[in-house]
Amino acid sequence: MNRLVDKKIVITGAASGIGRAAAALMVAEGARVLIADRDEGGAAAAAAQITGGESAGRAVGVAVDVMDEGSVAVMIDRAVAEFGGIDVLCNHVGGSNPKKDLDLLRMDLAEWDRAMVLNARSTVVASRLALPHMISAGGGSIINTVSVAGLAGDTLQCAYGAAKAAVIRLTQYIATQYGRSGVRCNAVAPGAIMTPALRDNLPADVIADIQRHNALDLIGDPEDIGWAMVYLASDESRYMTGQTLVLDGGLTAQSPIAASRRALLDE
């Protein structure tokens, strides 16, 4: 219950899905959390829902568009005004439009540009604005949400995978360049997580097929990623930096043909 006492945390894209679950766990562990999202009403509703009883005042919902540098600057200023500094920045927003982000030949180039800004440039922009506050306080933790899509090739979502791969390498650069200032930088790489976005974008048979390819007979919940973010935000992970923590039910741990071989065994 006290793993993040008085940590000052900013998390983007936290009005729904994984970000919302992570924000709720962080508040329950004693942090103060700025829930920043393009959906201003959703951010306010998430903050209100999370901050019942003893958690009153520990979460604040604000509007941000991570694609707009000015808007991100307002978010960082608000966190500093609200909490007196920033210990942890979670660059959580990401994604691409699966209808436009196809294979290389059929991908809409405008979607490539958009995915690079939404996933990678947004991480650069927010980190550059938060870092001076962390450095002047003696340190901090930056947590970037990437994806297993950034770890290997796939048939679709070329831009999304490449943008997440860029963030995985950026995570190592930030860790290298600011470790001596006490700033750690790590990433979480979810596999399929049952969020409204996943349910809206993927038919049930495709989700079942992902589960068939996981080592564990499971699809993850948002809290499965949220707990990893709590760990990376806390001092428990003080010796860890530049790493990507993969939380994917074992999808990428096993041979790509493991599911087929398992089926053979069952015959």
Ligand X SMILES: NC(=O)c1ccc[n+]([C@@H]2O[C@H](COP(=O)([O-])OP(=O)(O)OC[C@H]3O[C@@H](n4cnc5c(N)ncnc54)[C@H](O)[C@@H]3O)[C@@H](O)[C@H]2O)c1
4 vs 198 by CB, closer to ligand X: 198
List the structure tokens of 22: 């992570």
CA dist 197 and 7 (Å) reads 29
Q: Is 160 considered catalytic here?
A: yes
Indicate the pairing of strand 183-190 with strand 140-145.
parallel
What's the min distance (Å) between Cβ of 222 and ligand X?
A: 7
Query: Could you say whether residue 13 binds ligand X (CB under 6 A)?
Result: yes
**Which one of 34-42, 75-83, 104-112, 230-238 is the stretch in contact with ligand X (CB under 6 A)?**
34-42
Query: Could you say whether residue 18 binds ligand X (CB under 6 A)?
Result: yes
Binding positions for ligand X, 48-67, rule CB under 6 A: 64-67
Q: Which amino acid is at 119?
A: N
List the structure tokens of 32: 């103060």
- Binds ligand X (CB under 6 A): choice among 94, 140, 161, 249: 94
Count other Cβ atoms within 10 Å, centred on residue 149. 22
x/- letters, 114..153, toward ligand X (CB under 6 A)? ----x--------------------------x-x------
Query: Could you say whether residue 79 binds ligand X (CB under 6 A)?
Result: no
- Binds ligand X (CB under 6 A): choice among 88, 107, 134, 192: 192
Query: Could you say whether residue 187 binds ligand X (CB under 6 A)?
Result: no
Q: 27 vs 10, 32, 47, 79, 180, CA distance in Å? A: 12, 6, 10, 15, 29
Q: Smallest Cα–Cα separation from 167: which of 238, 96, 234?
A: 96
What's the min distance (Å) between Cβ of 16 and ligand X?
A: 4
Query: Could you say whether residue 226 binds ligand X (CB under 6 A)?
Result: no
Q: Binding-site residue total for ligand X (CB under 6 A)?
A: 29
List the alpha helices (DSSP H) in 138-194.
158-178
**Which one of 35-43, 50-58, 168-176, 256-264 is the stretch in contact with ligand X (CB under 6 A)?**
35-43
- Binds ligand X (CB under 6 A): choice among 7, 9, 10, 19: 19
Indicate the pairing of strand 59-63 with strand 32-37.
parallel
Q: Smallest Cα–Cα separation from 149: which of 188, 189, 110, 91?
A: 189
Q: Which amino acid is at 22?
A: A
CB 44 within 8 A of CB 64: no
Chain residues in the site for ligand X (CB under 6 A): 12-13, 15-19, 37-39, 42, 64-67, 92-95, 118, 145, 147, 190, 192-193, 195-198
Active site residues: 160
